[in-house]
Amino acid sequence: MKRFSACVLLLIIGVLLGLGTYKPEKLNSHSVPSNLTDPFLKIDVYYTPTEQVLSMDLETYIKGVVASEMPVSADVEALKAQAVAARTVAVRKMRALGGTSSRPDADVTSDYRTDQAYNPESVIKERWGAIAFWLNWPKIEQAVNETKGLILTHNGVPCDVVYHSTCGGETEAAADVWGREVPYLKSVPCGFCTGSPHYKGSSVEVPLSSLAGAFANLGLTVPVTFTGQDVVRASQISPTGRVKQVVMGGQAVRGLEFRTALGLKSTLMSWKVSGDSLVFQVRGYGHGAGMCQYGACGMAKEGKLYTEILAHYYPGTKVVYIFEE
Ligand SMILES: [Zn+2]
């Protein structure tokens, strides 16, 4: 996601619309501006399953993201942290606010690999079932309504927010994932995601014969004489123990690409050759940068507020209304 000085534009739009400057007395207050609805807060979402562009109110979109991204068992404060994170991602993409859209015909897509997961309320209801929906949808509405219009900023600019499912103990610095320094995407200790099904990790067997196909997409050729362990080695490990770079047959591959090519859940991994296969031990789920979603759930269960959760995973950032600065 490219950076842009959205706040300047947001200010202009806000002034033009007579929305003024919002200064919430308390960020944890449940009071929100009542007039934060206008044509500029409509978002166009390319819904991948039906290949249609759906136009909707930003807050409606955020409900669909929070319900699609977080475990249904999440407490409200974790859902609120997710709502603010999701809204910040959206604001940086919305063309009406000067953002960089993911497609020419839509601001965002519903594909989590490109942007963030989204499903309409009707699909969520079908997925969860009527009873779970009846029990849990009010939490989604509460979380989004109580954070209405709030985003994360750093030095007055909407943050380049990323998040992931399970860090496994420590989050990863953006510099160690993508090679770019982001002041608020440093590695922080987590220790709150032990309840995640991905925390302990699992074993994944990849036949050596399938490697050539997996890496062809990266433009890499697996050597004919490939013998597994002798050829594939982790050449760079990050301070949190994630594989930053793999050398395979003399060719360097970024850890993230290696993981993606093999369909592994995380770069927190090790491997060995077993027969005709590489056997990976993989812990955590996702790139590891920014908010750990299961960690956010763990913090909320310990009574932390969404502002504390966001401050932990995005140090040095502020929670502000879209039109505040
Ligand atoms: Zn974590």
Q: How many A from CA of 321 to the centre of ligand 1?
A: 27
Q: Give the pLDDT band (50/70/90) at residue 25.
A: very low
pLDDT of residue 5: 40
Q: What is the largest CA-CA distance in the chain?
A: 69
Q: Give the pLDDT band (50/70/90) at residue 6.
A: very low
Q: Is the pLDDT of residue 157 over 90?
A: yes
* CB-based contact 100:92 (threshold 8 Å): yes
Nearest residue to 172 via CA among 309, 65, 305, 285: 285
pLDDT of residue 97: 85
Q: How many A from CA of 15 to the centre of ligand 1?
A: 40
- What is the DSSP code (8-state) at residue 283? E
Q: Is the pLDDT of residue 147 over 70?
A: yes
Which residues lie below 8 Å from residue 216, measured CB to CB, with a gap of 6+? none
Count of CB atoms situated within 10 Å of the CB of 223: 13
Write out the two tokens for 115.
């942007």
Q: How many A from CA of 266 to the centre of ligand 1?
A: 13
pLDDT of residue 230: 58
Q: Is the pLDDT of residue 2 over 90?
A: no
Q: How many A from CA of 282 to the centre of ligand 1?
A: 15
H/E element holding 253? Answer: strand 251-254
Model confidence over 301-310: pLDDT tens digits?
999 999 999 9
Find the mean pLDDT for residues 67-82: 95
pLDDT of residue 253: 86
Q: How many A from CA of 301 to the centre of ligand 1?
A: 14
Q: What gap in Å lies between CA 161 and CA 88, rounded to an integer?
A: 7
Q: Give the pLDDT band (50/70/90) at residue 323.
A: confident
Decide: helix, strand or coil at residue 17: coil
Q: Is the pLDDT of residue 117 over 50?
A: yes
Instruction: Report phi then psi at 128, rounded to 5.
Output: -80, -30
Write out the two tokens for 184.
């608020």
Find the mean pLDDT for residues 238-245: 94
Q: Output the average pLDDT for the chain.
A: 85
β-strand partners of 108: 45
H/E element holding 46? Answer: strand 42-47
Find the mean pLDDT for residues 35-54: 83
Q: Is the pLDDT of residue 195 over 80?
A: yes
Q: What gap in Å lies between CA 251 and CA 234, rounded to an integer?
A: 12
Helices 121-128 and 130-145 pack at an angle, to 10 degrees, of 140
* CB-based contact 154:168 (threshold 8 Å): no
pLDDT of residue 249: 72
Find the mean pLDDT for residues 41-50: 96
pLDDT of residue 38: 58
* CB-based contact 182:161 (threshold 8 Å): no
Q: How many A from CA of 222 to the centre of ligand 1?
A: 34
Nearest residue to 28 via CA among 84, 70, 72: 84
Q: What gap in Å lies between CA 112 and CA 126, rounded to an integer?
A: 20
Q: Give the pLDDT band (50/70/90) at residue 21.
A: very low
Model confidence over 216-230: pLDDT tens digits?
777 776 654 555 455
Percent of the chain with pLDDT over 90: 66
Model confidence over 202-214: pLDDT tens digits?
999 988 888 777 7
* CB-based contact 282:201 (threshold 8 Å): yes
Decide: helix, strand or coil at residue 185: coil
Model confidence over 93-113: pLDDT tens digits?
999 888 999 999 999 999 998
Q: How many A from CA of 37 to the centre of ligand 1?
A: 35
Cα 93 to the chain's mean position, in Å? Answer: 14
Q: How many A from CA of 188 to the centre of ligand 1?
A: 9
Q: How many A from CA of 204 to the centre of ligand 1?
A: 21
Q: Is the pLDDT of residue 161 over 80?
A: yes
Place of tokens 């407490």: 75
Q: How many A from CA of 295 to the centre of ligand 1?
A: 4
Q: How many A from CA of 191 to the centre of ligand 1?
A: 6
Decide: helix, strand or coil at residue 105: coil
